[in-house]
Amino acid sequence: MLEIRHLRTLSALRSAGSLVRAAQLLNLTQSALSHQIKLLEDRYGGPLFERK
């Protein structure tokens, strides 16, 4: 099940355009946000974003 914090994360990533800026918007460290994204990708079985 997708949690509200995951929706906030996805929304922040979309609007911020970068992991660093999204982490700032969410008051998280970049590491914490990366970990959250990795958990989501593991849960849903694939990458959620194209990494550049």
Domains and CATH numbers, the chain: 4-44 (1.10.10.10)
Residue 49 pLDDT: 82
| Residue percentage of the chain with pLDDT more than 70 | 100
Cβ(48)–Cβ(41) under 8 Å?
yes
Cα–Cα nearest to 19, from 40, 41, 49, 47: 49
Residue 2 pLDDT: 81
Mean pLDDT of 24-32: 96
Run of H or E including 18:
none
pLDDT over 90 at 51, yes or no: no
pLDDT over 90 at 37, yes or no: yes
pLDDT over 80 at 52, yes or no: no
Burial 4-15 (b: 16+ CB within 10 A, else e): eebeebbebbee
